[in-house]
Amino acid sequence: MSLAAEAFVTQIAAAEPWPENAALYQPLKEEQILLSDNAACLAVQAFLQMCSLPVQVVYRANAEYMSPSGKVPFIHVGNQVVSELGPIVQFVKAKGHSLSDGLDEVQKAEMKAYMELVNNMLLTAELYLQWCDDATVQEITHPRYGSPYPWPLNHILAYQKQWEVRRKMKAIGWGSKSFDQVLEDVDQCCQALSQRLGTQPFFFNKKPTELDALVFGHLFTVLTTQLISDELSEKVKSYSNLISFCRRIEQHYFEGRAKDSTFRPSLIS
């Protein structure tokens, strides 16, 4: 989006209040969605819940192709369509809802830095696992990604996506990494998040911010998704304050919607 277009969108957005019929689009949750997409969708859902903005979750097999950026999730609000957490946070802010307004400049810098840490390490590790680990690719990623399409389109699209992701991994120097090195990175990232959180309820004490939504989206997804090995979730499970952080957000923001089966894989046992 160009600067002028962005300014225009912001102006329009500010003029209208949050409508009743706002919708969030994401891939089918039972048979299609992948680890990284699920994390992104959950992060946006958590963010909107924290802002107390009602949104109806719509599951579409072609959500990826409906999204303006080619990435899920996206929200449809009034006559606006906005995709991914960063732009959605901007959009919602233009409508007068913000979670990070109370932070000072240094805290805002810190929040942005930790959000980049999550994107740089956790998200990349999820992409690595689902597109570069051969066993996962064969057993989980290809069947799920191709599930809505007939043969041979299912294979063609899955291989196309795989090629795209592997090219990206190569460009950022992850192409030659082993799975163990990736797990080490994940561990380092979780350790940093755990240290930063300490004993506080949220990353910036009493009130959640978009960082809390993003971390929750990724960690909860890693913890509750059945993969061929549980090495990834074991890494997260060794940090007890991160587990209780996920539980806290699940209870506080998703409990009321317990009927919604998105959250069937509950942490509360």
Partner 1 sequence: MASPMELSCWGGDWGLPSVHAECLVVMAYGRFSGAPLKVNVIDNSWRAPRGSVPLLVSDDIVISQPAKILNFLRKQKYNADYELSAKEGADTLAYIALLEEKLHPALLHTFWVETDNYYTVTKPWFGSRIPFPLSWYLPGKMSREALNRILVTKGGPPFCSLAEIEAQIYRDAKECLNLLSSRLGTLPFFFGNTPTTLDAFVFGFLAPLYKVQFPKVQLQDHLKQLPNLCRFCDDILSCYFRLNLTGISPAGQDPIDANLQKLIQLVNKESNLIEKVFFHPFCDLLVDD
Which residues of this protein are in contact with partner 1, per CB under 8 A?
1-3, 68-71, 105-106, 108-110, 112-114, 116-117, 119-121, 167-168, 171-173, 188-189, 191-193, 195-196, 198
Supply the minimum distance, in Å, between the C-beta of residue 29 and partner 1.
23
Supply the minimum distance, in Å, between the C-beta of residue 105 and partner 1.
4
Q: Using the minimum distance from each CB to partner 1, give the nearer residue, 110 or 231.
A: 110
Q: Using the minimum distance from each CB to partner 1, give the nearer residue, 45 or 67.
A: 67
Supply the minimum distance, in Å, between the C-beta of residue 129 and partner 1.
19
Q: Using the minimum distance from each CB to partner 1, give the nearer residue, 2 or 240.
A: 2
Calculate ∠ Cα 233-234-238, nearest 5°: 115
Supply the minimum distance, in Å, between the C-beta of residue 167 and partner 1.
6
Taking a C-beta distance cutoff of 8 angstroms, is the pair 123, 36 a contact? yes
CA distance 269 to 230: 18
Supply the minimum distance, in Å, between the C-beta of residue 150 and partner 1.
25
Q: Using the minimum distance from each CB to partner 1, give the nearer residue, 119 or 233.
A: 119
For every residue of 226-250, DSSP letters joined together read: --S--HHHHHHHT-HHHHHHHHHHH
Supply the minimum distance, in Å, between the C-beta of residue 219 and partner 1.
15
Q: Using the minimum distance from each CB to partner 1, give the nearer residue, 81 or 267.
A: 81
Q: Using the minimum distance from each CB to partner 1, give the nearer residue, 122 or 140.
A: 122
Taking a C-beta distance cutoff of 8 angstroms, is the pair 74, 68 a contact? yes
Query: Cα 6 from chain centroid?
Result: 23
Give the sign of the dihedral formed by CA 77, CA 82, CA 85, CA 87.
negative
Tokens 């064969």 belong to 138
Cis peptide before 152 (omega within 30 of 0): yes
Taking a C-beta distance cutoff of 8 angstroms, is the pair 63, 74 a contact? yes
CA distance 176 to 259: 43
120-154 burial, b for 16+ CB within 10 Å, e for fewer?
Answer: ebbbbbbbbbbbbbeebbeebbbebbbebeeeeeb
Supply the minimum distance, in Å, between the C-beta of residue 141 and partner 1.
19
CA distance 42 to 226: 16
Q: Using the minimum distance from each CB to partner 1, give the nearer residue, 140 or 193.
A: 193
